[in-house]
Amino acid sequence: MSGPAFSPEDAPNTGSAAARAARALANGGYEYGWFGGRANGLDDRRHVAFPVHGVTVVDDQLTFRFDFRDAVVSGRFYGRSFTGVWRQSTGDGEVALEFASDFGAAEGWWTWPRGLARHRAFIRRRMAAESGDV
């Protein structure tokens, strides 16, 4: 289920974890990234990150997009813990993130379906956003 696009001025579900995360992420100053995977030549020492956009929220479900192979991440919150799936044009998998108390960053993991290995995943402020170059 997808909802309307969320902007920082929106106030529905203001107390829910998903809404608090959406407010933080919707301003355009954040990126989602990961270690390992094909984008990093299967090297868990390397990482990539892409700007978060297209943030939507419905109740406790958060969905966002980033520009890597038409990718979308969608899942539910349990407190500050987010669990869900990622999908892109070449496949899908699972993701789990633990958000900071201000919902301004998250750390966790991603994996391929039925994959045994978990790889680091994160959400953080974009470097360009911190310097005012958004």
> Which of left, alpha, beta for 41 (phi over 0: left; psi -120 to 50: alpha)?
left
DSSP secondary structure letters along 20-63? HHHHHHTTS-EEEEEESSGGGTT-TT-EEEEEEEEEEEETTEEE
115-133 pLDDT tens trace: 778 999 999 998 754 434 4
Q: Is the Cβ–Cβ distance between 78 and 108 less than 8 Å?
A: no
Range of weakest confidence among 2-6, 43-47, 82-86: 2-6
Q: Which domains does the chain have, with CATH numbers?
A: 17-130 (2.40.128.120)
pTM (two decimals): 0.81
* CB-based contacts of 42, cutoff 8 Å, min separation 6: 36
| Mean predicted confidence (pLDDT) in 55-67 | 93
63-94 pLDDT tens trace: 999 988 889 999 999 999 999 999 988 888 99
Q: Is the Cβ–Cβ distance between 133 and 34 less than 8 Å?
A: no
